[in-house]
């Protein structure tokens, strides 16, 4: 067994040979065998013993991961292999399978060029499998497939060889459908996984064996042999004859791209700058001698080293003492050290050249998504996902004197996990923490309470709702308090397809006249006509404000105030003070006083905010509730009890199938109804049910629940139970 420091020394040399580098992630649904497979790959590199592979869970080094038996954090390790007498460096990221930690998967996809998609062949392609494959393809990351737990088919389900082959074909076809649906246009059909081409491997990560077309030619072991070895309980011999690591490493080296190949097509997708610039050409060529560029994909805060920013270097090289520029923060920093992550440990290296994943130590304030470069350049594109927090908890320090420390700790947790959002309720002073699900919030609480030693009290989970409109509003005339200025405002729903494209495009914030041509073009691309696109002033949470006024002399002088009012109104809507989404807000006309003193913030802000509120209230506002795609498996004996539990929680069943002794159900469930579901599911199945829930999006709350939910939200926020009418906003 080699020391991590020795492996790092070899890796330090291999980082320079970009053709022999593979940057890859392992992705899958929860419990399909990612971390077990990672163990075998780590053992093959010599970092842990072969005997411990599959049991040590080397990449799940966080205490809570060991305790709960699930991956919570994406973990990096640099591995060295000899293949066909050549040395190769594999920078591997083991990602979480639970949907609450999907943000780690999304960020990891930015750093890698290929993924091994692991599928439990008994359970088949589960919703989270679809999600992670989709995320990889959005980032132009090439997939290969490992069909895991083949021994379960033979030993548990007792299938015959013909049925085993049919199962394989079904899963491969399902994966290829996802790939064809979401692969980059230039790679549709080219990135399909194929048994014949060697991009599909079959095996058992836990029992350390695997086979592929390539391995069969070398070892002579066929599917018939696999069947007999498993049936006879002799997987140990099978593992000696056809080790899983040999087969997987062969697939990685042969079928996944090196960074020189991948950056030719990936940079065009993930960086919006000028590809003909010095930086653009250097990134496309993965030139380690060019200007330094890197995107941060993960940040951890070490109590001794401070901020440690991990990410992918796309061009140039970085070493200790290098001065870099943090583009998003608009500031410079000096690199104290550079390192490779080896699971839980970091090992200092000389430098990290283009095409590698490495860590920068001492880059204060860096965040996941930051662009780091040797000089100012365009930012890398934001991570490509529209998943958002759907559940909230209120947090307070048990001891009031810990409040400043609590605020600092929550900032640290948010930096380490960008899917944690925080804000302070201005009305009540509550500190609110938003997460992706109940488990996500549990982990956040544990990190604050246990890791950072700040005792806290938390509220029961609170669901995050949205407000939107369903028809065009009346023309609203909003007057400033001094009656000297008037604004005519209309609200209209954004068409569904256009709204989806707004979210996918990720356009937010203000649009500066004559300086944001790219944003205007993006608006045109999503279906807004050119003239309207030019008149868009800002976007916020999928809402768009458009200036349709003509010939208003002083409109430019109050533009920033109108935009601020638009942000205020859409951040906290009139129905329940939840975020408004999916609305066009048109400033149709305006009358403005000639004297600037009569059209200041105290006049314009309340008038426009109330005007937008009134417009929304005349546009048949509704509440949207967050939903998750629920996948649950349980023994057939509990079908009645489990389905009854699902029906009681307003779950819309979409698929139900039986595989041997297990039933698998997929449905769409309101997040509100899933609070406490874990205990109920255990009770209904006597602890035998396994379930996960994936972010689905927002859908209209049933009308019969509208008044009840609005009243609950407003009461919780200390507001009057009923929202104000449009007339009230116009008269006030």
Name the percent of the chain lying above pLDDT 70.
Answer: 90
Q: How far apart are CA 275 and CA 7, in angstroms?
A: 36
Q: How far apart are CA 400 and CA 204, in angstroms?
A: 53
Q: Binning pLDDT at 50, 70 and 90, where does residue 706 land? A: very high
3-class SS of residue 184: coil
**What are residue 114's DSSP bridge partners?**
24, 142
Instruction: Domain 4-257: give its CATH superfamily.
Output: P-loop containing nucleotide triphosphate hydrolases (3.40.50.300)
* Fold of the CATH domain 391-464: Alpha-Beta Plaits (3.30.70)
Quick one: tokens of 7? 């492996």
H helix or E strand, kind and range, residue 180: helix 161-182
Q: How far apart are CA 520 and CA 527, in angstroms?
A: 11
Domain with CATH 3.30.70.870 in the chain: 391-464
CATH architecture entry for 623-701: 2-Layer Sandwich (3.30)
Q: How far apart are CA 199 and CA 218, in angstroms?
A: 16
Give pLDDT, residue 674.
84
- Tens of pLDDT, residue by residue over 182-225, are 888 889 889 999 999 999 999 999 899 999 999 999 999 988 99
**CATH 3.40.50.850, applies to 468-619+724-731:** no
Give pLDDT, residue 56.
44
Task: Give me the sign of the Cα torsion angle 416, 310, 90, 168.
Answer: positive
Q: Binning pLDDT at 50, 70 and 90, where does residue 544 land? A: very high
Indicate if the pLDDT at residue 513 is higher than 70.
no
How many CA atoms lie within 13 Å of 581's alpha carbon, on the beta-carbon side?
23
User: Please, what's the largest Cα pairwise distance for the chain?
Assistant: 92
Which of these, 98, 5, 100, lies nearest to 47 by C-alpha position? 5
Q: How far apart are CA 556 and CA 592, in angstroms?
A: 11
Cα(first)–Cα(last) distance of the chain, in Å? Answer: 76
Give pLDDT, residue 608.
96
Q: Binning pLDDT at 50, 70 and 90, where does residue 71 land? A: very low
Phi then psi dihedrals of residue 50, to 5 deg: -60, -35
Task: Over range 237-253, report the average pLDDT.
Answer: 92
Q: Binning pLDDT at 50, 70 and 90, where does residue 5 land? A: low
Let me know: does 588 contact 549? Beta carbons within 8 Å.
yes
Which range (87-91, 297-301, 427-431, 543-547) has the least confidence?
A: 427-431
Q: How far apart are CA 567 and CA 502, in angstroms?
A: 17
Which residue's entry shows tokens 């494959």? Answer: 133
Q: Binning pLDDT at 50, 70 and 90, where does residue 10 land? A: confident
Give pLDDT, residue 714.
93
Domain with CATH 3.30.70.240 in the chain: 623-701
CATH number of 262-373: 2.40.30.10
Domain with CATH 3.40.50.300 in the chain: 4-257
Tell me 724's DSSP state.
P
Q: Which residues of 677-712 are buried (b: 16+ CB within 10 A; e: fewer)?
A: beebbeebbeeebbbbbbbbbbeebeeeebeebbbb
Q: Which residues of 118-143 are buried (b: 16+ CB within 10 A; e: fewer)?
A: bbbbbbbbbbbbbbbbbbbbbbbbbb
Other C-beta atoms lying within 10 Å of the C-beta of residue 160: 11
Quick one: tokens of 107? 């960020």
Supply angle C-alpha 68, 70, 75, rounded to 5.
125
How far lies 113's CA from each of 53, 261, 273, 352, 386, in Å? 25, 9, 20, 17, 21
Give pLDDT, residue 100.
52
Quick one: tokens of 56? 């040590």
Indicate if the pLDDT at residue 321 is higher than 50.
yes
3-class SS of residue 576: coil
Indicate if the pLDDT at residue 361 is higher than 60.
yes
Q: How many helices, marked H, and strands, marked E, lie in the chain?
A: 25, 34
- Tens of pLDDT, residue by residue over 436-487, are 777 778 878 878 887 778 888 888 888 889 999 999 999 999 999 999 999 9
**What are residue 92's DSSP bridge partners?**
24, 77
Give pLDDT, residue 72.
46
Mean pLDDT over each residue of the chain, to the nearest integer: 85
E strands in 276-336: 293-302, 306-315, 317-319, 323-326, 331-334
Other C-beta atoms lying within 10 Å of the C-beta of residue 3: 12
Let me know: does 470 contact 493? Beta carbons within 8 Å.
yes
Which of these, 700, 668, 712, 719, lies nearest to 467 by C-alpha position? 700
Q: How far apart are CA 168 and CA 112, in angstroms?
A: 27
Close Cβ partners of 703 (under 8 Å, ≥ 6 residues apart): 622
């Amino acid at each position: 067994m080699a020391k991590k420091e020795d492996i790092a020394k070899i890796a330090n040399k291999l980082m320079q040979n970009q053709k022999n580098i593979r940057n890859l992630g392992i992705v899958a649904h929860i419990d399909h065998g990612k971390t077990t497979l990672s163990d075998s790959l780590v053992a093959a590199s010599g970092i842990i013993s072969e005997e411990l592979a599959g049991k040590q869970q080397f990449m799940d080094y966080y205490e809570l991961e060991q305790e709960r038996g699930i991956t919570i954090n994406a973990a990096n390790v640099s591995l060295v292999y000899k293949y066909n007498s050549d040395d190769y460096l594999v920078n591997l990221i083991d990602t979480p399978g639970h949907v609450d930690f999907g943000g780690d998967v999304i960020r990891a996809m930015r750093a890698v060029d290929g993924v091994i998609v692991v599928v439990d062949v008994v359970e088949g392609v589960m919703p989270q499998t679809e999600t992670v494959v989709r995320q990889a393809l959005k980032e132009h990351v090439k997939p290969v497939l490992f069909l895991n737990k083949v021994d379960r088919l033979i030993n548990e389900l007792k299938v015959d060889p013909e049925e085993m082959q049919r199962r394989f074909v079904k899963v491969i076809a399902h994966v290829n459908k996802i790939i064809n649906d979401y692969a980059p246009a230039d790679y549709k059909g080219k990135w399909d996984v194929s048994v014949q081409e060697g991009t599909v491997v079959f095996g058992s990560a836990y029992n350390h064996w695997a086979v592929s077309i390539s391995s069969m030619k070398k070892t002579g072991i066929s599917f018939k042999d696999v069947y007999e070895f498993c049936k006879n309980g002799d997987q140990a011999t099978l593992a000696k004859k056809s080790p899983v690591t040999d087969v997987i490493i062969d697939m990685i080296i042969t079928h996944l791209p090196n960074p020189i190949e991948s950056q030719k097509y990936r940079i065009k997708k993930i960086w919006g700058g000028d590809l003909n610039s010095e930086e653009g050409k250097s990134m496309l060529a993965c030139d380690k001698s060019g200007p330094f560029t890197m995107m941060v994909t993960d940040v951890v805060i070490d109590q001794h080293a401070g901020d440690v920013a991990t990410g992918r270097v796309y061009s140039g090289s970085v070493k200790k003492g290098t001065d870099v520029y943090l583009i998003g923060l608009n500031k410079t920093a000096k690199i104290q050290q550079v390192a490779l992550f080896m699971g839980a440990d970091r090992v200092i290296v000389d430098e990290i050249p283009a095409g590698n994943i490495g860590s920068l130590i001492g880059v204060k304030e860096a965040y996941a998504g930051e662009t780091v470069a040797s000089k100012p350049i365009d930012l890398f594109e934001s991570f490509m996902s529209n998943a958002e927090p759907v559940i909230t908890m209120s947090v307070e320090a048990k001891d009031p004197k810990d409040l400043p420390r609590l605020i600092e700790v929550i900032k640290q947790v948010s930096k380490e996990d960008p899917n944690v959002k925080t804000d302070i309720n201005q009305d009540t002073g509550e500190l609110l923490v938003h997460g992706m699900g109940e488990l996500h919030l549990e982990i956040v609480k544990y990190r604050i309470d246990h890791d950072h030693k700040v005792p806290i009290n938390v509220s029961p989970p609170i669901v995050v709702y949205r407000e939107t409109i369903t028809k065009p509003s009346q023309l609203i005339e909003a007057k400033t308090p001094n009656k000297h200025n008037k604004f005519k405002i209309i609200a209209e729903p954004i068409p569904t397809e256009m709204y989806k494209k707004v979210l996918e495009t990720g356009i937010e914030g203000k649009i500066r006249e004559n300086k944001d041509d790219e944003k205007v073009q993006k608006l045109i691309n999503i279906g807004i006509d050119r003239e309207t696109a030019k008149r868009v002033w800002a976007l916020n949470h999928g809402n768009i404000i458009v200036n349709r006024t003509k010939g208003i002399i002083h409109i430019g002088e109050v533009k920033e105030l109108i935009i601020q009012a638009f942000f205020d109104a859409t951040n906290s809507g009139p129905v329940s003070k939840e975020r408004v989404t999916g609305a066009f807000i048109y400033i149709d006309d305006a009358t403005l006083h000639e004297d600037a003193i009569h059209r200041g913030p105290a006049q314009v802000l309340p008038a426009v905010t109330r005007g937008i509120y009134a417009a929304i209230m005349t546009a048949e506002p509704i509440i949207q509730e967050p939903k998750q795609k629920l996948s649950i498996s349980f023994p057939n004996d509990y079908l009645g009890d489990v389905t009854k539990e699902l029906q009681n929680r307003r779950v819309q069943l979409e698929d139900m199938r039986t595989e041997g002794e297990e039933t698998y159900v997929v449905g769409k469930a309101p997040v509100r109804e899933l609070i406490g579901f874990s205990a109920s599911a255990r009770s209904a199945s006597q602890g035998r049910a396994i379930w996960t829930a994936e972010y689905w999006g927002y859908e209209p709350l049933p009308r019969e629940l509208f008044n009840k939910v609005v009243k609950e939200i407003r009461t919780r926020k200390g507001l009057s139970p009923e929202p104000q009418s449009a007339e009230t906003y116009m008269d006030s």
